[in-house]
Amino acid sequence: MPLVKHGKITNDALVHVADDAEIPGDGAILITAARFLEDAEGLSRRVGRTGVIWPNNRDVDDLVPYLDRLAVIALVFPTFRDGRAYSQARLLRERHGFKGELRATGQVLRDQFVFMLRAGFDAFEVKKESDAEAFAATVKRYSVFYQPTGDGRLTALHRRMQLRHSESASQ
């Protein structure tokens, strides 16, 4: 499955570990929420990068104690009509200050890509190579937005205010 990260198609460095498989001591892994919660303290302290696949029907507050030790949180879109992962993404970025990779997985569709970016996602598992190419191109398409959201970009208003401030400071 292609991965688009920071606007580029890339190889996924994370190994998806099944619930019944042994967890490697090092290396980058991605595990289910159930597996992570069985030993969250131990798994969040392992040497390699650890990521968790978090379903959209679980409260993200359960992850808060481990956010500084998680490299990746993959939020699941089970269907294109189910937008709960958008809310989870915004909560993780804006309320809880998660700085790691926020990955969209599941039904990740082209027409929702910009909304996912704006909610704070920075990596996307897509089904087809052609979707990956379209996602990578879309990142470059939009440079200014009006609404503030979880992606940390300045809004058009804040850009104008910065410009005015720098102009008045130089006079």
How many Å apart are CA 67 and CA 58, to the nearest integer?
Answer: 15
pLDDT at 96 over 90: yes
H/E stretch holding 101 reads strand 101-106
* Predicted confidence (pLDDT) per residue in 39-64, tens digit: 998 887 888 899 999 999 999 999 99
What are the residue boundaries of the structural domains of the chain, listed by start? 3-143
Contacts of 41 (CB under 8 A, 6+ apart): none
pLDDT in the model for residue 10 = 86
Report which of 3, 23, 21 is spatially closest to residue 13, judged by C-alpha positions. 3
Mean pLDDT of the chain: 85
pTM of the entire structure?
0.81
Rounded Cα–Cα distance for residues 90 and 125 (Å): 19
The percent of residues in the chain predicted with pLDDT above 70, rounded, is 89
- 27 torsion bin: left (phi>0), alpha (psi -120 to 50), beta (else): left
pLDDT at 34: 93
* CATH classification for the domain delimited by 3-143, as one of 3.40.1280.30, 1.10.10.10, 3.20.20.70, 3.40.1280.10: 3.20.20.70
